[in-house]
Amino acid sequence: MVLMDLRMPVLDGIAATGQVRDRFPDVAVVVLTTYADEESIAGALAAGARGYLTKDAGRAEIGMALRAAVAGHSMFDPVVSARLADAMNRPAPQPRDRLPDGLTQREAEVLGQLALGRTNAEIAAALFVAETTVKTHINNAFAKIGARNRTEAAGYATRHGLG
């Protein structure tokens, strides 16, 4: 088991969690950090963390989270649980019968987020995907709609009601 901080000098905890899980898939990782924003939570969970606690957690709570993770279960700080519930309870975008220019539903969602001025990291957190996945969707969408930059893509998304 590993108790992981998110903000570290050489390698951030999300990347470190991903490396630990890639190299040692049976190792349980629990995040212990001061950060409880959606981007940090989503990044840590996407990287393979089994638990997520804030540094307000006491010794007993940390021990319970570590034991739960080793047993294959998850434990979250109440603030983190509330953020996860809020994210899951957001209404899903309504699927469109036909999206313009052969866009997939996910490409349309990414363009909609882009039109709101969000960064790739913010889009990844909002959609619970990796930032590299967002970049792939953006590149595919740009090719389909003929956009050369984010400004053109945002204008397209707005004109087509995606944002």
Domain ranges of the chain: 2-89, 100-159
Is the pLDDT at 3 greater than 90? The verdict is yes
Name every residue whose Cβ is closer than 8 Å to that of residue 47 and which is 6 or more positions away in sequence.
Answer: 14, 15, 17, 18, 21, 29
Confidence of residue 54 (pLDDT cuts 50, 70, 90): very high
Supply the pLDDT for residue 126. 85
Of 75-79, 97-101, 131-135, the range with the lowest mean pLDDT is 97-101
Task: Name the nearest CA neighbour of 65 among 42, 100, 32.
Answer: 32
Which top CATH class is 2-89? alpha beta
Of 48-57, 67-76, 84-93, 121-130, the range with the lowest mean pLDDT is 84-93
Is the pLDDT at 155 greater than 60? The verdict is yes
- 125 alpha-carbon distance from chain centroid: 3
User: Which tens digits make up the pLDDT trace of 17-52?
Assistant: 999 999 999 999 999 999 988 888 988 998 999 999
Neighbours of 139 (CB within 10 A): 11
CATH code linked to domain 100-159: 1.10.10.10
Average pLDDT, stretch 5-9? 91
Strand-pair category, 2-4 with 29-33: parallel
Confidence of residue 71 (pLDDT cuts 50, 70, 90): very high
Bridge partners for 52 per DSSP? 31, 76
Supply the pLDDT for residue 22. 92
Is the pLDDT at 94 greater than 80? The verdict is no
Largest CA distance in the chain: 55
Q: Please determine whether the domains at 2-89 and 100-159 fall in the same fold group of CATH.
A: no
Task: Report residue 76 as tokens.
Answer: 């979250």
